[in-house]
Amino acid sequence: MTSGKIDANKEVLQKIFSQDFWFVIPEYQRSYVWQKDNVLDLLDDLFFAYENKPENEYFLGSLVLKRIDNHEFDEYEVLDGQQRLTTFFMMLAVLRDLIDNNDSKNVFQEMIYQKEIKLKKIPSRQRITYHIRDSVEAFIKEFIISENGTLSEIALGERAKEENVSISNMANAIIVMREFLTNKGDLESFGAFLLNNALFIYVSTDNTEDAFRLFTILNDRGIPLTNADILKSLNIGKIKDEKEVQLYARKWEELESKYGEKFDRFLYFIRNIFVKEKARTNLLEEYETNIYKKDKLKMGQETIEHLICYDEIYDNVIELQGQNLSNEYKNLITIMKIGLPSEEWIPAVLFYYRKFKTDKLLEFLKKLEFKVAGDWICQVSPTMRLEAINKVMKEIEACKIHEIDTIMQNEELFDIDIKFYKSAISSDVYNKRYCKYLLLKLEYLLSDNTVHLSNYNKISVEHVLPQNPGRNSDWVRVFTEDERNFWTHKIANLVLISKIKNSKLSNLDFEEKKEKYLKQRIDVFYGNKIFIENNNEWSPEILKKRQKELVELLVKNR
């Protein structure tokens, strides 16, 4: 291929792993980081496509390649896409070792490795060469190039425990693939689908800068790039220095790998911080039209540095890795992440911390939480809720560092329809979307910030007074039918409990429930458990008093 030529195309897997392509993973690239879930998701998707849409093309991902000056064969540095390319390199080896047909085995082996043929002066060569670690090359020779290498169960199990990230992840990936594919029936047919229907898209040039910049032409050809793919190519393409290109390409890829399927969501968070208006188009157009063309941020290094900065802030204040965060702040963030219907509030927290750090951070979060949750409970439309968050961020932007109190004292900024809110939380809440959130908020308010919600996926709502008590139960004696109808679904009668153990409580009388709640360690949350422990009965009078206290607590906490 002559210097200066640009290739942009899509190729099926058997073409990518043919004599036309020999790949090098350069030393500046990161380790192989795919985990078990990444591999299983890919296998599930591939098999679904194979079984349900066997005639259709299946898009595997994209590659950004730089041609290496090599007169003997077509060699390419992999600038983007090495994780998925490596995964298929291993998958071909697993299929080779699981299929019985020798002709098919040879096809897969030739895609992985070229044997030396002295008579034809053909040297030995593996399809992908890794400059990341020397030990990675040794692993590849032993388990991928060597026939039946992927069947070495004990040896792979040992390698999966190694400290070398690439080797441990590669070993685990091979184990996962082998276990998944072992009992999948006709693997030759699946292999044929993989080689002939699954395809990569790629762009390759002699110049790294051009490779990323010209990657966007694939989108013009109608090939399904993601918005993040194109944003990456646009930003990397603006960087002139070759070393800086490699550095920032790697940093972008690290962010992309860290967030996975939620990377677009993270990019939208940053978009919202800069634009502070509702998004009207797709992510790419939002960045190009509302950020770059309006000079809110420069394309290239500046954009990537901002992403890195906000990634660190996200870890600190949303993932709660910051060292100077109070336990009260951490618990409030936890219930917001668990119980609120959307994450539209996160950019405001990120933006606040970027400007003010921890100065009155908890006070700000309390006001923001009450506004976000209150508007949701008051049935404010999603558009209006988002506009309220944008107003908060505009206030943050306008506020000077030493005038932070102007935000805290702006009652209009955080105001909700308190009459509607009080009416909503005082009525039957059990079947409302916000029921669980209200109970989580009460736990936060009642538990002196010792709430532990690590098992939150199993949280469910339990009625103390059952929905359908037995005819001979104490519930029928203590409550009239009208009283039961009135109190059953009120917040005073509801507690949070482990979903696993919910069914064990069913329609037990109060004394029996209390016994299980307290002595048998049924997982009732702290605030409710203390209240139950201090009461020997569950009656209309108890509920009336409890209802008033809980509603007042929720209303005043703002």
**Span of 375-384, 400-409, 466-475 with lowest mean pLDDT:** 466-475
**231 located within any domain:** no
Higher pLDDT, 449 or 344: 344
Nearest partner of 322 among 347, 366, 357, 352, judged by Cα: 357
Query: Average pLDDT in the 136-151 region?
Result: 94
**Looking at residue 378, what is its pLDDT?**
96
Specify whether 281 is located in the same domain as 310: yes
Query: Average pLDDT in the 163-191 region?
Result: 93
**74 located within any domain:** yes
Nearest partner of 525 among 483, 552, 494, 482, judged by Cα: 494
Q: Beta partners for 113?
A: 126
Specify whether 400 is located in the same domain as 459: no
Name the residue type at position 412.
Answer: E
Specify whether 132 is located in the same domain as 161: yes
Provide the pLDDT confidence category of residue 503 given band limits of 50, 70 and 90.
low
Provide the pLDDT confidence category of residue 513 given band limits of 50, 70 and 90.
low
Provide the pLDDT confidence category of residue 2 given band limits of 50, 70 and 90.
very low
Model pTM?
A: 0.74
Average pLDDT, the chain: 88
Provide the pLDDT confidence category of residue 143 given band limits of 50, 70 and 90.
very high
Specify whether 32 is located in the same domain as 53: yes
**Looking at residue 522, what is its pLDDT?**
47
Query: Which 8-state DSSP code applies to residue 452?
Result: -
Provide the pLDDT confidence category of residue 29 given band limits of 50, 70 and 90.
confident
Query: Average pLDDT in the 357-378 region?
Result: 97
**348 located within any domain:** yes
Q: Tens digit of pLDDT for each residue in 45-79? A: 899 999 998 999 999 988 989 888 776 778 999 98
**Looking at residue 261, what is its pLDDT?**
80
Residue 434 has pLDDT above 90, yes or no: yes
Q: Beta partners for 524?
A: 497
Specify whether 246 is located in the same domain as 394: no
Q: What is the DSSP string of 221-261?
A: TT----HHHHHHHHHHHT--SHHHHHHHHHHHHHHHHHHGG
Of 317, 352, 377, the position where a domain reaches its end is 317
Specify whether 91 is located in the same domain as 45: yes
**Looking at residue 224, what is its pLDDT?**
59
**430 located within any domain:** yes
Query: Average pLDDT in the 471-485 region?
Result: 92
Specify whether 186 is located in the same domain as 77: yes
Of 416, 450, 475, the position where a domain reaches its end is 416
Specify whether 399 is located in the same domain as 438: no
Specify whether 49 is located in the same domain as 182: yes
Query: Average pLDDT in the 270-282 region?
Result: 94
Who contacts 45 (Cβ-Cβ below 8 Å, separation ≥6)? none
Nearest partner of 440 among 393, 485, 401, 496, judged by Cα: 496
Q: How far from chain centre, in Å, is Cα 87?
A: 20
Residue 454 has pLDDT above 60, yes or no: no
**35 located within any domain:** yes
Specify whether 148 is located in the same domain as 85: yes
**Looking at residue 287, what is its pLDDT?**
95
Gap between the Cα atoms of 302 and 456, Å rounded: 38
Residue 3 has pLDDT above 50, yes or no: no
Residue 518, domain extent: 426-556
Of 391, 416, 441, the position where a domain reaches its end is 416
Query: Average pLDDT in the 420-438 region?
Result: 96
Q: Tens digit of pLDDT for each residue in 112-132? A: 999 888 888 888 899 999 886
β-sheet with 198-205: strand ranges across? 7-12, 198-205, 58-67, 75-80, 22-25, 128-130
Q: What percent of the chain has a predicted confidence (pLDDT) above 90?
A: 60
Total domains, the chain: 4
Provide the pLDDT confidence category of residue 415 given band limits of 50, 70 and 90.
very high
**Span of 5-9, 215-219, 402-406 with lowest mean pLDDT:** 215-219
Residue 399 has pLDDT above 50, yes or no: yes
Residue 5, number of CB atoms within 10 A of its CB: 10
504-525: b (≥16 Cβ within 10 Å) or e:
ebeebbbeebbeebeeeebbbb
Specify whether 27 is located in the same domain as 102: yes
**225 located within any domain:** no
Specify whether 377 is located in the same domain as 473: no
**Looking at residue 514, what is its pLDDT?**
61
**1 located within any domain:** no
**421 located within any domain:** no
